[in-house]
Structure 1
């Protein structure tokens, strides 16, 4: 992967993320003291001393690589939400989630990662996901494709029937949540997910058909959405209809964001989520249940 118009080597960024994982994150996995964990916006919204330490470590080193870039870290934004606005302006910005999947990290679940994106003039141009427990990086530079552990992602299989995906919709308004849950139960197969990074890795590999998210922040989605775009996937909002509204790097909102794997029909999945499966599919599912009961 080349640097293009960058003044830094994207490979050097990957090396920094690997260093943070090996020296700051993994040594604390399963070894956190109670006083190193606290809540932010809710009891389920956790932050640890590892989040804070990793953000500070990477902030200083990324600033050395690109001194003119604004730095937007998740923990810095929690203290000052106004800094997110810098992402949509002119110039460049780093967007960092030092430890995505903090809840998994605390509970001993081996799905957590560092997510980083580089934005120029409001547009994502590079992204990294460092999968800490598995010790590899997924990377993308706009126009150059995406790599997983240095190689193009494997071609995923065909879409499942019905579509299979992941969901995290608890932050939506009740009306939207009930509507989507009803259609999720009827038309698709889903499981909940607590790590955006690993969801995007599954999407890029074609292991799931889609991910439906609800609490949207730049540090969770910019890098993954760029990677999907580079391999033929898509990410857009469905609350304005099945035509979709593009996800933008500065977005922070509680809205239903649908990301789909390469080769999947974004509009078809959006239509199922919004309106339920076609009548013929429902009738077939009911017939299958009746046959099983008989």
Structure 2
């Protein structure tokens, strides 16, 4: 249904949206072009909305029968999510993942596009507007980092033999629920050095390129933040499961651990049980 030619065609749509709607506004946003959604750290910009409209129009022209799910359109009307598991072909878009970074002039943001078949991710792209490079994967065919038009196969596990205390990882500790805070503090003391990028696109890249040994996401796990990243990570050999051992599902709440090996996943999960 989706082949490599489609993937690169879709990445080119992300590139065009970046050239037309995202990069021209980067570090040039006016105060009236940035809005709060749920709080002052949850932002949306004119570029998010324009890029989503641009990409959705291109997708609709190429795949008129597909279900289109975009972060900004779902924020206004979540009805499309209810059709995800029944749709033969779906596209799940985050037009700018890491909007906080984008709005504050940081380069840690990306366009995330997942492709699904009856609720199962079969393709994924994480496009980086600043570099023009992108991560991509097709289910069962591996994951790749396309840099300046050349594909580099991705395989996690570079630090699998290190003790956990010697690793570097990502963990969204700052949004830990009050009832879980004591356990989280004790876990952090055994986890080596941790970071929180507030950008799934950046953290999935760090994991699949071997820069970090794990990334832990928690609370609301939106499909547009994790659909493409989950496929790319698992195709690169990562072990990705919820804390209860179940696979990630769309729009779920909880703790998602994505690690460079199953042994590393078990080691991390044990800290939170």
Residue of structure 1 aligned with 2:233, choices 228, 232, 236: 228
Q: 1:55 matched to which residue of 2?
A: 52
CA distance in 1, matches of 2:205, 2:86: 29
Q: 2:122 matched to which residue of 1?
A: 125
CA distance in 1, matches of 2:201, 2:268: 21
Aligned length: 265
Question: For 1:66-117, what per-residue CA distance to the aligned partner results, in whole angstroms no more than 9, with x for missing partners?
Answer: 1111111000111112322222224221100000000001111111000000
Asked whether the 8 Å contact 2:87–2:119 carries over to 1, the reply is yes
Matched, 1:109 2:106: yes
Q: TM-score, normalised by structure 2?
A: 0.90
Pairwise CA distance, 1:23:
2.1
Question: For 1:20-63, what per-residue CA distance to the aligned partner results, in whole angstroms no more than 9, with x for missing partners?
Answer: 11221111111000000010011110000000000000001011
Return 5+ residue gaps in structure 2 as ranges: none
CA distance in 1, matches of 2:136, 2:262: 20
Pairwise CA distance, 1:234:
2.1
Return 5+ residue gaps in structure 1 as ranges: 276-294
Pairwise CA distance, 1:155:
6.0
1:135–1:63 CA distance, 2 compared to 1 (3 A)? same
CA distance in 1, matches of 2:125, 2:118: 19
Matched, 1:201 2:205: yes
1:68–1:221 CA distance, 2 compared to 1 (3 A)? same
Asked whether the 8 Å contact 2:156–2:237 carries over to 1, the reply is no
Tell which structure's C-alpha radius of gyration is larger.
Answer: 1
Q: TM-score, normalised by structure 1?
A: 0.84
Asked whether the 8 Å contact 1:32–1:106 carries over to 2, the reply is yes
What is the Cα-based RMSD across aligned positions, in Å?
A: 2.0
1:146–1:262 CA distance, 2 compared to 1 (3 A)? farther
1:177–1:119 CA distance, 2 compared to 1 (3 A)? farther
Pairwise CA distance, 1:219:
0.3
